Amino acid sequence: MTAPVRSDPAVVKVALDDRGYDIVIGRGVIASLGARIAALRPGAKTFIVTDNNVAERFLAGAEAALAHAGVAASHVIVPPGESSKSYRVFEDVCEAAIASRVERGDLVIALGGGVIGDLAGFVAAVVRRGIDYVQVPTTLLAQVDSSVGGKTAIDSAHGKNLVGAFHQPILVLADTAVLDVLPKREFRAGYAEVVKYGLLGDAAFFSWLEANWSEVFSGGNSSGSFARDHAIAVCCRAKAAIVARDERETGERQLLNLGHTFGHALEAACGFSDRLLHGEAIAAGMALAFEFSARRQGLVPKAEAARAIRHLAEVGLPTSIKDIAGPHPSVDQMMDLIAQDKKVKRGMLTFILVRGIGSAFIETGVDAREVRAFLSEKLAEQ
């Protein structure tokens, strides 16, 4: 038997003219952090933002990689979890960055999951009127979604991500080996976003996932097939292409919200708690989007909707409201939450719907009454 071949990292380009950047994907790429930063911004100092869980596992390695290339680094460690996307923690991180004498030419490094990426990216967008930053995403969700595209934000009392900025990173370094120690439930939730790329625009990738998902979960390295790295690269390529065409989400980028209208309502109904992780809510939301599309003038054949839902269920993701533990929201509650998430124009809502696996589209004229009738049916099935 031949030894597994270690492949070179994959490099995906985000084409945004002078703000374009590389996404580097591969096992062990954190070791190249210092050399890559030294090449991109010679002489820059760095300020690492991370959380306790990630610091415990990966901060020393990241700092060693920086030191090895002669890149100066300081850091701040915040508590893990969504609560760190708050004004209070944002203030602490800004003050820590300024205290460490970060200047205009220096860099922020976001070392962590989507929470750290959103928080550190927003800090970088405003400290000293904006400095550059590097994303080192350590969750599957962050590697395939939140670290790419430049959306940064913290939360308001009125809702999630309401205070933020578009600010593109100068490099994304996705070390797929760090996912070996990511809790299984977090990995599975991130996998919902992986499936999303297949469902919204890439039927061949969806079929590939159906056949190879267990390799993606295990890392896929035993056979040298690097299934996990491949899946992450496919997602990053899809997101990079969409972001390059529609950076500010005025059109096509909205497709990335497949499953997110129903999903956000479910997440909010669960109080954004551990009861339902974001990716879990999105899995249920995508299942509902497929069922709603099938019901609505039979946009998608029922069997095809069933196939999409079967794959999500197979990996252990929730695919209906009844899969969520605890008390379920009422139809009124769901409709209120959907209306808060979306502007309702003359009783009409915008949804991402599907004609089939791999062909999502933006529908601006969804009658709120139709959504209500659908959700009433779904809740009655419980």
Ligand X SMILES: NC(=O)c1ccc[n+]([C@@H]2O[C@H](COP(=O)([O-])OP(=O)(O)OC[C@H]3O[C@@H](n4cnc5c(N)ncnc54)[C@H](O)[C@@H]3O)[C@@H](O)[C@H]2O)c1
Residues of this chain, 264-283, that bind ligand X according to CB under 6 A: 278
**Is position 161 annotated as part of the catalytic site?**
no
DSSP character for 328? P
Among 29, 62, 125, 182, the residue binding ligand X under the rule CB under 6 A is 182
Please check whether residue 62 is in contact with residue 48, taking contact to mean a CB–CB distance below 8 angstroms: yes
Among 29, 30, 46, 51, the residue binding ligand X under the rule CB under 6 A is 51
Listed ranges 16-24, 88-96, 134-142, 229-237: which one lies at the site for ligand X (CB under 6 A): 134-142
For the beta carbon of residue 190, count every other beta carbon within 10 angstroms.
28
Kindly report the length of the chain: 382
Closest CA to 294 of 354, 348, 352, 376: 354
Nearest-10 crossing angle of helices 203-218, 184-201: 170
Strands 151-156 and 159-166: antiparallel
- If one asks whether residue 67 binds ligand X (CB under 6 A), the answer comes out as no
Listed ranges 36-44, 176-184, 223-231, 259-267: which one lies at the site for ligand X (CB under 6 A): 176-184
**Is position 249 annotated as part of the catalytic site?**
yes
φ/ψ of 31, rounded to 5, equals -60, -20
The CA distance from 327 to 275, in Å, is: 11
- If one asks whether residue 146 binds ligand X (CB under 6 A), the answer comes out as yes
Listed ranges 65-73, 80-88, 225-233, 341-349: which one lies at the site for ligand X (CB under 6 A): 80-88
- If one asks whether residue 135 binds ligand X (CB under 6 A), the answer comes out as no
Among 141, 174, 227, 238, the residue binding ligand X under the rule CB under 6 A is 141
**Is position 53 annotated as part of the catalytic site?**
no
Please check whether residue 284 is in contact with residue 323, taking contact to mean a CB–CB distance below 8 angstroms: yes
**Is position 253 annotated as part of the catalytic site?**
yes
> Is residue 212 classed as helix, strand or coil in its secondary structure?
helix
Residues of this chain, 290-349, that bind ligand X according to CB under 6 A: none
Closest CA to 209 of 224, 221, 192: 192
The CA distance from 27 to 8, in Å, is: 9
Provide the mask over 353-382, with x wherever binding to ligand X is found by CB under 6 A and - wherever it is not: ------------------------------
* Residue 160 or 307 with smaller CB distance to ligand X: 160
> Is residue 12 classed as helix, strand or coil in its secondary structure?
strand
**Is position 257 annotated as part of the catalytic site?**
yes
DSSP-assigned letters across all residues of 87-137: HHHHHHHHHHHHHTT--TT-EEEEEESHHHHHHHHHHHHHGGG--EEEEEE
**Is position 75 annotated as part of the catalytic site?**
no
Closest CA to 341 of 328, 354, 352: 352
**Is position 128 annotated as part of the catalytic site?**
no
* Residue 220 or 366 with smaller CB distance to ligand X: 220
Question: Closest separation between CB of residue 193 and ligand X, Å?
Answer: 7
- If one asks whether residue 151 binds ligand X (CB under 6 A), the answer comes out as yes
Question: Closest separation between CB of residue 182 and ligand X, Å?
Answer: 4
Listed ranges 17-25, 59-67, 102-110, 112-120: which one lies at the site for ligand X (CB under 6 A): 112-120
DSSP character for 18? G
Listed ranges 25-33, 76-84, 128-136, 355-363: which one lies at the site for ligand X (CB under 6 A): 76-84
Given 68, 128, 253, 328, the catalytic residue? 253
Name the site residues for ligand X (rule: CB under 6 A): 51, 53-54, 57, 80-82, 85, 112-116, 118, 138-139, 141-142, 145-146, 149, 151, 160-161, 178, 181-182, 186, 278
Q: Which residues are catalytic?
A: 129, 151, 193, 239, 249, 253, 257, 260, 264, 278
